[in-house]
A and B are shown apart, each in its own frame.
Chain A
C-alpha cells in the first residue's frame, strides 16, 4: 500500500545552518505530497505541498521538489532559525484511496543559537 518514509531524528542544527530532511514515498498512481509542521503543544500546520512531478512547493524559506524518478520529496532550508524548531511530517495524499493521507513518523528539529 501507499506509505511514506522519512529521515529519523532528532536533528540538531546551529542557527543559519542548512537543513535537509529526507522523505521518500511508495504509491500507486499520482499522489500529492505535503510537508506539515508541528510546534510544541500544537496541531499540525500545512507547510508546503506539490501536486505533480517536478512541482516545487515553498513557504517561509522551506522548499521541497516532487521527484517522481526518485520517489522523493526532501525538505530543505538554506538558513534555519531557532523558531524553526518543531517536528516535521512528510505526507502523501493518495490519488487512488480517496481522501486518506499517509504520514511519515516525523522528524524532530532543534535549532540552537
Chain B
C-alpha cells in the first residue's frame, strides 16, 4: 500500500523558470494538502484540495502559485517565474475523511526546490 508519493525529490530551477511539483495521494485518500517548510521554520499551510476542487487556498501567495487536483492524475503545485525566496521543501499530505479515519494526515517525503 504505497504512501503519498511526491516527485521529484529534488528540483533545481533558475530564476524566472517554472517549477511543477507532483503529489499522488495515498490510495483511497481524496483530500490533498500542500505545505511549505522554509529553512529553520515550521510548516506553513498553503492549500487544501479535493478532486477537481480547491477547498481552501488561504495560505497560497496571491501571485505565481497555483494548485490543482484533477479528476485523473496527481495533484500539481505550480510556481511560475520562481525567485530565490521560493527555495524550500514542499510537502504534500493526504487524508481520507478526517471525521471517520485516524484523524491525521499522511505526508509525502517532500520536494526540495532550489532556485539558483
State whether A106 touches B107 (Cβ < 8 A): no
Measured CB to CB, the nearest residue on chain A to B89 is A43
**Chain B contact residues: helix, strand, loop or mixed:** strand
Docked CA distance A93–B106 (Å):
14
Which residues of A sit under 8 angstroms from B105, Cβ to Cβ?
44, 46, 101
B4 within 8 A of A: yes
**Chain A contact residues: helix, strand, loop or mixed:** strand
Which residues of B sit under 8 angstroms from A45, Cβ to Cβ?
107
Docked CA distance A61–B64 (Å):
44
Which residues of B sit under 8 angstroms from A106, Cβ to Cβ?
42-43
Q: Contacts A99-B31, A99-B95, A99-B98 known; A46 to B104 CB distance under 8 Å? A: yes
Which residues of B sit under 8 angstroms from A93, Cβ to Cβ?
98, 103-104
Docked CA distance A98–B56 (Å):
10
For chain B, the bracket of interface size reads: 20 to 34
Which residues of A sit under 8 angstroms from B25, Cβ to Cβ?
none
B72 within 8 A of A: no
State whether B91 touches A100 (Cβ < 8 A): no
State whether B91 touches A43 (Cβ < 8 A): yes
State whether A101 touches B91 (Cβ < 8 A): no
State whether A89 touches B42 (Cβ < 8 A): yes
State whether A51 touches B103 (Cβ < 8 A): yes
State whether B108 touches A43 (Cβ < 8 A): yes
B81 within 8 A of A: no
Q: List 9 A-B contacts (CB under 8 A).
A: A42-B109, A43-B91, A43-B107, A46-B106, A93-B103, A99-B55, A99-B56, A100-B48, A106-B43
A42-B110, A44-B107, A93-B98 given; 4 more Cβ-contact pairs under 8 Å = A43-B6, A45-B107, A100-B56, A105-B41
Show the binding face of B for A, using Cβ within 8 Å: 4, 6, 31, 33, 35, 41-43, 45, 48, 55-56, 91, 93, 95, 98, 102-110
